[in-house]
Amino acid sequence: MKTLKHGDIVCLMSEEGKKWFVKLEDKKFSTHKGVVDLKEIIGNPPGKFILTNTKQRLYYFIPSIEELILGYVKRSTQIIYPKDAGYLILKLGIKEKMKILEVGTGSGAMTLLIAFYVGSCGKVYTYEERKDFSKRAENLLKEFGLEERVHFCCKNIESGIEQQDFDAAIIDVKEPERYLETIINSLSYGALFGIVVPTTNQVSAVIQACENFPVFNLEICEILFRKYKVNPERLRPFDVMVGHTAYLITGRKIITRNMVK
């Protein structure tokens, strides 16, 4: 049975569903439900509960990647939401041993997700021109022991990409069309890429730019996400849903544009 140890990040959850994300250390943690001593959780398996000083139950778990992205990652920039990030992981076929290019590290949430999926034998090369963003993302990966899977490149890719023959690429920058030639040139033939943009005019700019490069099978989508109230007698959706967050553009690199019929 797995037990929790010092330094683990856990999710504390009240019986009403309120969540807190904390690192297990020799200290106390305060909530509106009362105070808990985190060291009392160390050595116990996840799934149990701890009582606050006001006798309120807080259950503790190992958080999922989705929970970490939404609740733990400090946002330097807008993140790629889990509904979009999960689709890109599947759509681009990201898996163990792959070599992945990420353009726009940002808060490091997507970097964390990709690093998890490429495994210990894969590698993520993430480019970010802002040093503070890059350093913060690097610290995030260190918290989860995944820093060896990621190479942080603090530079604008207009000056070039140092590596070549990537298996896939994820691009999340303001004007992706400016960097498409450099990115496409760095991909292996047949490799998939995914571009994340928030507005339709950005989608149009990317589509127009792609006409100049050897890319094929462009697709554009957005994903809407709606939760339902857990009541078997009055099952209905919540009034508020996660609607538009981004447009996702995906495509493949081919050998020559002239091959497209």
Rounded to 10 deg, the angle between the 82-91 and 109-118 helix axes is 40
CATH of 9-63, one of 3.40.50.880, 2.40.40.20, 3.40.50.1100, 3.10.330.20: 3.10.330.20
Residues 51/40, Cβ–Cβ less than 8 Å: no
pLDDT at 39: 93
3-state secondary structure of 1: coil
Q: How is domain 66-259 classified at the architecture level of CATH?
A: 3-Layer(aba) Sandwich (3.40)
For the segment 201-259, what is each residue's pLDDT rounded down to a tens digit? 999 999 999 999 999 999 999 999 999 999 999 999 999 888 899 999 999 999 976 54
Please write the tens of the pLDDT for every residue from 58-92. Answer: 999 999 999 999 888 888 778 899 999 999 999 99
| Global pTM value | 0.89
Q: Tokens 């820093």 label which residue? A: 147
pLDDT, one tens digit per residue, over 119-144 is 999 999 999 999 999 999 999 999 99
**In contact, 161 and 127? CB cutoff 8 Å:** yes
**All CATH 3.10.330.20 domain ranges in the chain, comma separated:** 9-63
Residue 261: is its pLDDT beyond 60?
A: no
Residue-wise pLDDT tens digits, 38-48: 999 999 999 99
For the chain, percent of residues with pLDDT exceeding 90: 88
pLDDT band at 260 (very low <50, low <70, confident <90, very high): very low
pLDDT surpassing 70 at residue 20: yes
131-186 pLDDT per residue, tens:
999 999 999 999 999 999 999 999 999 889 999 999 999 999 999 999 999 999 99
Beta bridge partners of 37: 28
- CATH 3.40.50.150 location in the chain: 66-259
